[in-house]
Structure 1
């Protein structure tokens, strides 16, 4: 693995999931990394320093001064500056709500937070806490701030928590963290100058819309929202401030640092995008918005009577065209086109008609692309006529490709 020979400082904080840090240390050492563990005082209530010292083959550090023979004043200084400079990467896993708050606000009266403030290397935070703590506005703001500083957040996972609740907040599995570190060192993942997008305001739409016929029926499409959610997560990883307007999906809530507005109909999506559009620097319209909606939705459930039933439809507001007309200098817009025939020609027409800067073309004739899949195959056409073709890959990797395209444009 690409972590071989890398110096990794692992911060372990006060969370029940600290027991997973033992497996993470073992995996890192087995892969050939040098591992130095720094624990907070609270972490030692969940796992002993002796366990992690044995696995890492290094003494575990937790205080500024290591005592000798139990006598204060006769110990050695654990130099937080040298530790911060020693590491190729710092991984804080688990990162408790308390530690996130300390690092986000610059408090450093323990060794781990002092090392963080002294570090010049990339830093990864892997949050772990109960679901309500994870989605609390304070935690979301702290995560947003840490991302805006250029740090990387390893999103907590969904599942059963120590409280017995089901939701997001579980520490990412050690194998997942290993894969992210391997990708980081092997491909430069996350090394796309996050300062370029740090603090940029990004508006993203995702998912389908549902147009009501009566209180129990609606018109919709097969969009799952997976692509839009992946794009939102990719932007937030490079420090952007993300507003996500999402139609109905079965997906778990996105990264808590994302401001998510849930809507149902095309009109609700239009109103929600209008509310934040003027403040957005980058707009990515990946939602599959209905083109038509019932003109007169019924107040009561429509009973089955006639053998033929007609439904009068009226056009919805064209969100992309409306925002394209309102676009100001300094704003960048990316739209999506899912086509079944004459794909390229139809996508170019949409790009020009709606005053977009990029159009992302999907073809339902490409196996593994389009709605419902975990993969996608795209062609991106920009307003200057340049075409960027990408192979079939995961939607997470597609999202990173799109972010990189935007970064390269802002750099030029």
Structure 2
């Protein structure tokens, strides 16, 4: 969420949403972000501002009457007021390209917001599951500690063994507190993104994994090409380059002016050329970054799937261990503790399995965003 929270933390504290108080599904949450989020509005206002400036410069190309008309050299004054300097045409054209770039930026902000929303939505759901597991672990460790207290009072176990069980209770309680803190933090982040009131409980409908089932390209090479073709960040550079080129042309013809050629003409022309080259190089850099990120994402997904397959084996082993412990349990303390330890091991294996699956889902969300997918309809582009 590093792209979004910086803006929202300052502004979301004073915002509220018309959706506050209702249950959010992932779909309704996305709609709330697209329709109401302040960052989208800010990006749109930036677009309107740049577009208005472009229109203003275009209107300034029209004939004007000014105080210059009162100059002694009447003919000179009329010509200057009616015939604009050529540089002004190029500046106006460049402003229009900058307005398009600002409009594209609004789409970029919207996509980033939707990506952050979906990732935080799943993270919140994951840590809620973990918190439930932590609370269950608290109960189990407390059971072990209670039985161990009885055994220690009877003198059947020594202090070190009794101490380990008490320490287990403290560790489980601390873990549950930390888990609750993480859930609260992510709930607050979601409220900021959704612009919901912090005083209202956040009611989220459970969401199943689905991103891995989307129609992704078969290879990283194909995907990287699709990502570049659909990258709004790359497209934005095209308009910035075009605007810089027009600015450069404006500088080049600036000698055709009522003021003549200034001493700084060649330095201004050199700066304008370097500006075009700099933006073009930044576009190339952006293309390389998009391609590299896509290739890296495919590699991470493949690695994650392999880890999940191994974890499934460990989970099955933990399940077998617990089943055997329950079947062999007696009334003796050691047998009881062994069964509870097996239950805890099964719980740990389930947590790790859940963690890996959520991580995989988050990786697919990132890949979806890199490919330029429609984050509302989840349609992955194929060209």
TM (norm. structure 1) is 0.19
Flag the structure with larger Rg: 2
Greater length-normalized contact order (CA 8 Å, ≥ 6 residues apart): 2
**Structure 1 or 2: more helix by fraction:** 2
TM (norm. structure 2) is 0.20
**Structure 1 or 2: more strand by fraction:** 1
